[in-house]
A and B are shown apart, each in its own frame.
Chain A
Amino acid sequence: GAGVSQSPSNKVTEKGKDVELRCDPISGHTALYWYRQSLGQGLEFLIYFQGNSAPDKSGLPSDRFSAERTGGSVSTLTIQRTQQEDSAVYLCASSLAPSRQGRGNTIYFGEGSWLTVV
């Protein structure tokens, strides 16, 4: 597609339920990022995928959070047993493979998935 596509755009779920958030990056982009942004806060890094390399999961806040990227394209972020503090906007971004020669230096964000846990 023309840009990073995320779905659903809005999700209201009950505490304790599992949710899946989907990200479809820009075609040809091998780098994919997930971030979380709570109201009035900065972007919190969650996970980074680059090609076939092992993902950097260092930002995942607990073992209730997981993400996968199938076929090097679409990614799914799963939150199990959701809690109210999980309410936030979940932003996905993609880029070309970063290099010192300048590739991957523009990282494009999707519109986000707004998650509300009630």
Chain B
Amino acid sequence: GQNIDQPTEMTATEGAIVQINCTYQTSGFNGLFWYQQHAGEAPTFLSYNVLDGLEEKGRFSSFLSRSKGYSYLLLKELQMKDSASYLCAVRSGGATNKLIFGTGTLLAVQP
């Protein structure tokens, strides 16, 4: 089966660092994605990991451990505009490359 778990909600303070965790159990693996989604808008791509390790892109970093079925998204120097849902998604690979999403983590950044 396919299972992707993320915390439902998180709260953090402006200027701080927050880590959003994602664990997954999927039949096959061909990459893990993080998306940001503001209320009422489409998801926008943040990061992609297919090999173990850390990928850094400005204030956002994403980490993957395939052996542990674990990823995290790290947001630094939080800004109020970072308040959004953060979606973890795994591409299953093999004969199909469908992207399976977790339910998302709603992050609230407070002043």
- A residues sitting closer than 8 Å to B (CB atoms) are 31, 33, 35, 41-45, 48, 50, 56, 58-59, 91, 93, 98, 100, 102, 104-112
Contacts and interface: CB of A to CB of B under 8 A. Distances in A.
Given A98-B30, A105-B48, A106-B48, A59 B98 contact: yes
Interface residues of B, number: 23
Interface string B15-31: 00000000000000011
22 contacts: A33-B98, A42-B103, A43-B43, A43-B89, A44-B101, A45-B99, A45-B100, A45-B101, A48-B97, A50-B96, A56-B98, A91-B43, A93-B99, A98-B30, A98-B31, A98-B91, A105-B31, A106-B45, A107-B33, A107-B45, A109-B43, A111-B42
A93 B96 CA distance: 15
B78 interface: no
A41 B87 CA distance: 11
B44 interface: yes
B50 A105 contact: yes
A48 B42 CA distance: 18
Contacts of A45: 98-101
Given A42-B104, A98-B91, 17 more contacts: A43-B43, A43-B89, A45-B100, A48-B97, A59-B98, A91-B43, A93-B99, A98-B31, A98-B97, A102-B50, A105-B31, A106-B45, A106-B48, A108-B45, A109-B35, A110-B42, A111-B41
A107 B42 contact: no
B101 A104 contact: no
Contacts of B100: 45
B50 A41 contact: no
Nearest to A4: B42
A56 B94 CA distance: 12
Nearest to B41: A111
B48 A41 contact: no
A45 B48 CA distance: 19
